[in-house]
Structure 1
Amino acid sequence: MLDVSHELSLLTMQSLPRELYVRQETMPAGHFFPPHRHDWHQLLYAVSGVLVVDLIGERYFIPPEQAIWLPRGCQHRVYTEYGAELKSLYLDAGYQGLTSETAVVLQVTPLFRELILTAAGFEVEYPIQGYENNLVQLLLRTLERLERNDRYLPWPVSEDLISLCNRLYEQSDSSETSEQLAAGLAVSLRTLDRRFRRETGMSLKQWRLQLRLMQAIELLNTGQSITAIALELGYSSPSPFIYMFREQFGVSPAQYRKQR
């Protein structure tokens, strides 16, 4: 069995102790892992809380009904605003069940969730024959069949637009208009929109709506009321927030929370 110091020195490990290695930890509110990469594949999953995963030019919000696949060598930064119970699944670089060379968001089924929770309780060097290995193989086969989700938030690459997006992310209740944001950058609205579309593939207005949707999911995984969430996101009352959420997800915020 590996000793504790080996188990915790993940970034310096040359290889995984088994085909699948599960690391679990509690991330307190405001905690983050700085940008890094691995020599193996990783599946990031939070049993509770929401993970914010930054890649180059992309930001993903990962609630407990989803996980994100990060192929070998993919640089990423992980953050949680309100805290999360993290399960990190590290898979040997030779695993070919998911052939994507880019990050992929996957819908977590109840079966897959239970497989993760069970595997998380195994010893680091679990037996390579018998029950533990059989369950791990089932987990890997199930992973290959998970439905993919392409909802994420593209991030610009220009320093001034990155700064703008970071500020909008941190000030979720901002009521600044697109015209005011353009004036703050000393450019016309037309120029701002053209640059924003070129770097993110969507207009600034579409991007801000997507940001609110992602932050709504993040806040709905806390204990805050629907009214408090609506106000924090800059809505004058719950009604327009509920309408926006239902239009995008097909259910109300309360129904989403109940399903969770």
Structure 2
Amino acid sequence: MSTKGQADTDLRAGLAELKALPRPVFGHAESLPNAVLGYRHRHPWVQFAYAVQGVLEVQTNAGRFVAPPQRGVWIPAGVTHRVWSTAHTCVRSLYIDEGQSGASPARCRVLEVSPLLRELVRAFSLVPVDYAPGSADERLANVLLDQLSAAREVDLMLPIPADAQLRQLCRSVQARPGEKASLRDWSERFGISEKTLSRRFMRETGLTYRAWLLRMRLLSALPGLERGERVTDVALNCGYESLSAFIAAFGNLFNATPGEFFNRAVERQF
């Protein structure tokens, strides 16, 4: 390996120890294991994590941000987070100096990755770490930033409430998405009225409990679908009583059937 190539590898491997980025935009490819990383962390730059294949999830205090193929998660500087992914997930990560993020909101978001943005990210992941100022590589970085700023936000975030009782409720329901999860049962358990609990949930998450539960179940279905499990089995495991109801709900969120959604993702890798 050349000295320059070795420097690139060493820098990418030691990213956690960096105090500043070597260039305003820095990118690389990596494979993530099928596990929650054992630590929560943050960094002084923006990160955009895009799953070429697999399902990527970023967890913050505010919620879960889920990125199936052709989606990516924008993580602002200073936001504490951890990352989870399905097996064999391939990620293209971009690290961006906070001064280059423009007027982007200071919150995590899931963004749609257009075909053009996908190819720009793929190409930039192969650019040397120490690309020269004013070079074609720097111009590529600027085009990439323009496309990121124009990327459409998609509603694949599951908000997690700050209230201790509601967080307990949400953790329990997420652990067993296929079980019946009545708000009335939880109100009796907490010793408050169902109406009061419903109002608190809406205030904390911006969603009704029913809408939150629907989104949670659909997001929970993505790893199984990505692994190629039978759609009927995935639907039942996520609490749906019929395949047709699951396919209709999935279509409303993703504008595709489960089969179409992941088949398109595979086709776009090539």
- Same fold by TM (over 0.5)? yes
Among 219, 243, 246, the alignment partner of 1:241 is 246
- 1:207, CA displacement in angstroms? 0.9
Correspondence 1:41 to 2:46: yes
Tell me what 2:257 maps to: 252
Task: Please identify, of 165-174 and 214-223, the stretch whose mean Cα deviation from structure 2 is larger.
Answer: 214-223
Whether 1:172 aligns to 2:177 is yes
Paired amino acid for 1:13: L
- Correspondence for 1:162 among 142, 147, 167: 167
Q: What is the SS of the residue equivalent to 1:34?
A: coil
Give the C-alpha shift of residue 4 in structure 1: 4.3
Residue number among 93, 117, 123 corresponding to 1:118 in the alignment? 123
Q: CA deviation at 1:122?
A: 2.2
The offset of 1:111, in angstroms, is 1.3
Cα 1:97–1:238 shift into 2, 3 Å? same
RMSD value over aligned CA atoms? Answer: 2.2
The range that moved more, 105-114 or 220-229, is 220-229
- The C-alpha deviation readout for 1:205-229, integer Å capped at 9, x for no partner, is 1210111122233433221121121
Any idea what SS the aligned residue of 1:22 has?
strand
User: Shift of the alpha carbon at 1:88?
Assistant: 1.6
Deviation per CA, 1:19-75, whole angstroms, max 9, x where unpaired? 211132211112326322111111111111112212222221111221122222222
Identify which range, 9-18 or 213-222, moves more after superposition. 213-222
- The answer to whether 1:217 aligns with 2:222 is yes
User: Map of 1:1-260 to 2, 5 A cutoff?
Assistant: 1=4, 2=7, 4-32=9-37, 34-260=39-265
Structure 2 unmatched runs, 5+: 266-270
Match for 1:73: what amino acid?
G
* Residue 103 (structure 1) shift: 2.1
Residue 129 of structure 1: how far off its partner (Å): 4.6
- For the 8 Å contact 1:61–1:218, the answer to whether it is kept is no
- State the SS of the aligned residue for 1:207: helix
Structure 1 residues 188, 81: closer, same or farther in 2, change over 3 A?
farther
- Is this contact kept in 2: 1:97–1:140, CA < 8 A? no
Shift of 1:171: 1.0
Residue 164 of structure 1: how far off its partner (Å)? 1.8
Task: Give the conservation status (yes or no) of the 8 Å contact 1:48–1:64.
Answer: yes
Residue identity (%): 32
| Deviation for aligned residue 1:98 | 4.4
Contact 2:66 2:73 in 1 (8 A): no
CA contact (8 A) 1:50 1:83 kept: no
Given the superposition, is the C-alpha separation of residues 204 and 157 from structure 1 closer, same or farther in structure 2, using an over 3 Å criterion?
same
CA 1:3–1:242 in structure 2 vs 1: closer, same or farther (change >3 Å)?
A: closer
1:90-109: per-residue Cα shift (whole Å, max 9, x none)? Answer: 01222144432222322101
Amino acid aligned to 1:8: A
Does the Cα contact within 8 Å between 2:67 and 2:156 map onto a contact in 1? no
Change (3 A) 1:179 1:87: same
Unaligned runs of 5+ in 1: none
CA distance in 1, matches of 2:71, 2:135: 29
Judged with a 3 Å threshold, the aligned counterparts in structure 2 of structure 1 residues 97 and 23 are, in CA distance, closer, same or farther, namely same
Q: Quick check: 1:31–1:81 contact (8 Å CA) kept in 2?
A: no
Count the aligned residue pairs.
260
